[in-house]
Structure 1
Amino acid sequence: MRIVTAKEFQDWLSHGEVLEKDSHGPKVVRLSSGQLLKIFRSRRLPLLARLRPEAVRFDDRAKRLQTLGIQTPIICETCWIDRSKLVSACLYEPLVGQPLDRIFLDSRAQFNLLLPQLAAYIYRLHQRGIYFRSLHLGNILRTPDNDFGLIDFLDIRFKNRPLGRMLIRRNFQHLRNYLQRRKVENFPWEELVAAYKAASKSSN
């Protein structure tokens, strides 16, 4: 991984658009080239973070998801922003699509029509051994080919077999907790669960 110079990083910030930030600074920046810069500030042990920085882990997960037939952003480069402070980054081509939380806010009718396909997609993830703790409406995109794709998947875990009932329940609970934290009202939760069960039965 190359180390980005302070000048290059400042140029990215000066000419780009900050899409997401927290108390530590920018997290996602749209560059003038159209690429996205995703910045990771590690909370892991320094030795582990240096050996396998978050940017590399994100890149590895993107590649593995793609081999499983799951659409993700295309990673172009991983780099260090500040190696001493364990700040790494990815440059990537954004995945084209519309976040489901935006669809839910803009058109409940359209979102409700997507529910069976969304449930089948979540079932597909589970059957491929993909446990996505950050499974929520902002991290799933509706893609132009009428499929879905994932973003922001650093905390994803891969199993060598389909997820068991306990992990499936836990995954749905993560989604439910997200909806409660965001105070999302009138979400068709029962319909989603029923559609997931229907997808499970139709595959057997």
Structure 2
Amino acid sequence: MTQQDFLALSEGARRLESDGFGPKVLALADGTMIKLFRRKRLISSAALFPYASRFARNAQKLHQLGIPAPVVIQVARIDGMARDMVHYRPLPGETLRELLEAGLAAERLQALKAQFTRFVIRLHDAGVYFRSLHLGNVVLTPEGELGLIDFSDLRVYPWRLGSYLRARNMRRLQGIDREREWFDRAVVLAAARKRRGGH
């Protein structure tokens, strides 16, 4: 994609996220979004398999597993900007972090925590290892389902995750204030042992 084509596509867009190098996430007037990826190092795996392509691949894999995720429209390299982009329809709903910050009744909070624990087990059983799993990347859809966003570093194995990867996957959540209690670690690890034992 030429830089002119990108500027035409993103005309009037609202900047949702940026860093010192420029915009990272744009909301377009039609409700779709653009996520921009910058290659941080000259020699990098991103040169062969850009993060935008990883995002698109992971979105497809999640859809195949029946897990709600954004719908990718287009992946492109923007000539003259040293950026890769993914243009997509966002997953409707609110992140669990947004719901937590908005304040929830105790009963609703407990129900969501239980739902999130089941969701984590479902991901692990499906072979999904998501290093950036946290409440800001999990969306509660209008249909009441949990889905994922911002998953460029996600990996899907062709087998269920074992106890080691499940525990490793939960460490990020355990290090975030107010989010470490959102899942029952014992239940998640017990599910791994149960699956391994074939019960």
Shorter-chain TM-score: what band? 0.7 to 0.9
Would you say the 8 A contact 1:55–1:78 is kept in 2?
yes
Instruction: Give the AA of the match of 1:193.
Output: R
Would you say the 8 A contact 2:117–2:182 is kept in 1?
no
- Which residues of 2 match residues 57-136 of structure 1 at below 5 A? 57-82=54-79, 85=82, 87-108=83-104, 109=106, 110-136=108-134
Equivalents in 2 of 1:139, 1:175: separation in Å? 11
Q: 1:132-176 CA distances to partner (integer Å, 9 max, x unpaired)?
A: 000000000001111111000000112121111111111110112
Question: 2:35 aligns to what?
Answer: 38
Instruction: Give the AA of the match of 2:18.
Output: K
Shift of 1:75: 0.1
Give the secondary-structure state (helix, strand or coil) at the position aligned to 1:70: coil
**Larger helix share, 1 or 2:** 1
Question: 1:22 aligns to what?
Answer: 19
Moved >6 Å (runs of 4+): 198-203
Instruction: Give the AA of the match of 2:184.
Output: L
Shift of 1:83: 6.2
* TM-score of the superposed pair, with normalisation by structure 2: 0.86
* TM-score of the superposed pair, with normalisation by structure 1: 0.84
After superposition, the CA RMSD in angstroms is: 2.5
Would you say the 8 A contact 1:82–1:88 is kept in 2?
no
Give the secondary-structure state (helix, strand or coil) at the position aligned to 1:95: coil
How many residue pairs were aligned? 194
Give the secondary-structure state (helix, strand or coil) at the position aligned to 2:23: strand
Unaligned runs of 5+ in 1: none
Shift of 1:122: 0.4
Instruction: Give the AA of the match of 2:61.
Output: R
The counterpart of 2:3, out of the listed 6, 28, 38, is 6
Judged with a 3 Å threshold, the aligned counterparts in structure 2 of structure 1 residues 200 and 97 are, in CA distance, closer, same or farther, namely: farther
1:162 is aligned to 2:154: no
Q: 1:59-96 CA distances to partner (integer Å, 9 max, x unpaired)?
A: 111101111111110000111124672x1001101110
Percent of pairs with identical residues: 36
Would you say the 8 A contact 1:73–1:95 is kept in 2?
yes
Question: 2:150 aligns to what?
Answer: 152
